[in-house]
Structure 1
Amino acid sequence: MLSSNTLPPYALHSPRKRWLPRRAVTVALSLSLAVAASTSWFMTRTSIVDLGSEQQLSKSGLLQAWANGAVIVMIRHAERCDSAPGPCLDDPAGITVAGSQAAGRVGEGLKHLGLADADLLSSPKVRTQQTAHFILGQPVATREWIGQCDGSFPAQALAAKRPEHNLVLVTHSGCVDQFARQQNVAGGERDSGYASALFVSVDDNGKARILGRLNEPAWQRVLASAAR
């Protein structure tokens, strides 16, 4: 018989509970939270559709939204004179001759959409004013905020949008980037080429939704075809 002070043999070999070090627990928890956050961002991110085909243009709902006066289109200025080898217009701070021709083609595309109920504004920079002039064939009113491209740009663009009037903004890549960033577009998709346009629909509550991007070479071809 065992005395009260004697442990049974199996007690000498019973396994002890093993606790993970606090650092290991912290790292594991941090990794789990990072994975959850990454998954959540991926599920809510916005992709920018290329509207350079009739099928994508039709699926986007752009034509109907434009007819309803529910669109903001942000057009980046045409090719800069100071970063291109081709001949420039009269001001070195402006755009190239090739850029002016591209802007004219964008203008033809906009005419196919219809500009009767559109408000047109430009950044005051020379390159954007010249682009706007060749798009519309006339001078366009300017606003300082369209050329500042800071974090307030998306809110100011939405505030400038009048009900049942489309809004055309001739602006800069940095401003287009700011708007796309606010809409959770990944960095690799936010780049915009010369004279390309980002189309955004705005509902009655002022909520914006990116419809897609149209690059300059496709403007006339796609919109002229869609208008038939």
Structure 2
Amino acid sequence: MLVFVACLTLVTALVSGFLIITRSPTDLGHAGHSDTAQWMSAWKAGEIVALVRHEERCDRSTNACLGPADGITKLGSDSAASIGRGFVNLGMQQAQVFSSPLTRTMQTAQYMFGEEAVAQDWLEICGPTFRNDIAAHKTAQRNLVLVTHSGCISDFEKQTGYPHAIPAAYGSALLMRIDAKGDLKVLGILNPDAWAQFKKQ
């Protein structure tokens, strides 16, 4: 009996440790009504920052490329346009859009919103100050859409308690809330297929 209890305790500890080590932000595409209502309310208040990973890279795909070679694929541009419609349905009247200056991020932003985003070098470099850089660029009562890279999103996750999160998928958006006091809270991730559920506000 003691051996059984010891084994059960060990298995429980291993499973719990694995879940803690590999935890990722909540998948908002499968969140309950109250979680969805919470972040949508924060969007209306201009308190959301969305870290969006650029779309599918030409140099890592056999899909047709828009050109140039360091840009995104045609499939990626279609997905970016769909994600952009999701953001527009939420309302972009009180939102700023910044992008890393690299071709793949600038193209993603262009296909999302039909116009060039403001290029920001800090969205390419990222690193250990990335969380603070995001907070410093957030204007009160203005949502912020940042088109960036998986490595940058990973840097942010490490700095906010998710050191072993699943890598960001193409076009995924990591949402956070920065309230009037400047307090930052990670809300979760919206993958590209989740945007279709949000109708025009």
Q: What band does the TM-score fall into relative to the shorter chain? A: 0.7 to 0.9
- Residue of structure 2 in register with 1:26 after alignment: none
SS in 1 for 2:32: helix
C-alpha separation between the residues in 2 aligned to 1:147 and 1:56? 33
Structure 2: which 5+ residue stretches go unaligned? 1-12
- Residue of structure 1 in register with 2:191 after alignment: 215
Contact 1:73 1:200 in 2 (8 A): yes
% identity of equivalent residues: 36
Look up the equivalent residue of 1:120 and give its one-letter code: V
* TM-score using structure 2 length: 0.85
Look up the equivalent residue of 2:159 and give its one-letter code: Q
**Aligned-pair distance for 1:217?**
1.4
Tell whether 2:111 aligns with 1:134.
Answer: yes
- Residue of structure 1 in register with 2:154 after alignment: 177
SS in 2 for 1:169: strand
SS in 2 for 1:179: helix
* TM-score using structure 1 length: 0.75
SS in 1 for 2:97: strand
C-alpha separation between the residues in 2 aligned to 1:157 and 1:127? 20
- Residue of structure 2 in register with 1:202 after alignment: 178
Moved over 2 A (4+): 55-58
Give the aligned CA root-mean-square deviation in angstroms: 2.2
Aligned pair count reads: 184
Question: Which residue of the other structure, out of 95, 99, 108, is the alignment partner of 2:72?
Answer: 95
**Aligned-pair distance for 1:207?**
1.6
Moved more, 123-132 or 196-205: 196-205
C-alpha separation between the residues in 1 aligned to 2:194 and 2:181? 31
Query: Is the alpha carbon distance of 1:192 and 1:138 closer, same or farther for their aligned partners in structure 2, counting shifts above 3 Å?
Result: same
C-alpha separation between the residues in 2 aligned to 1:50 and 1:215? 8
**Aligned-pair distance for 1:183?**
1.1
Computing the radius of gyration from Cα coordinates, the structure with the larger value is 1
